[in-house]
Structure 1
């Protein structure tokens, strides 16, 4: 799924284009999305706190960003979802923070 939104805010001099890609981690979208990494200055990577594979895929996405992004240090935010499913949670907050710390100045939510 792909959505694109352009918004010009009052008092701002720069136009920002926001594109959100929901590939559900499917490999078949990988080549398509990397074409759009090039001009992006920031990335939001979501992972499922109840799914080990989803969490481990963060590394693959970060490698793709390093390979295909034109920017040396793009802003990256990791976001764990399904935080409300306490009984099914496999990824702790501490583990997610440690993984984010490995990659430098990555924010995590």
Structure 2
């Protein structure tokens, strides 16, 4: 397991320990589980750094950020802020879908397929 993967898992575990198994924003309740948090961190934090700065620098940047988000297995204030904002953004997207009369499960599945094809 790479250092990034270890930190991603530590961050997800620390966030669950600190925040519990549910996040609520805009009347959207988001169930939290270790596997989905790991996936969200990989997709929204690690992948964003790789996309922005390329493979080598992106990995270094992601590693640095993760090290500031979870310190000795404990969620840092930065980690709490970034994770809360990531979850707020997801809930806001779901709220918008609901307000538009769309089924979030259908929309998210469609988005996942679209990303896989890129």
* TM-score, structure 1 normalization: 0.23
Q: Which has the higher contact order (CA 8 A, sep 6+)?
A: 2
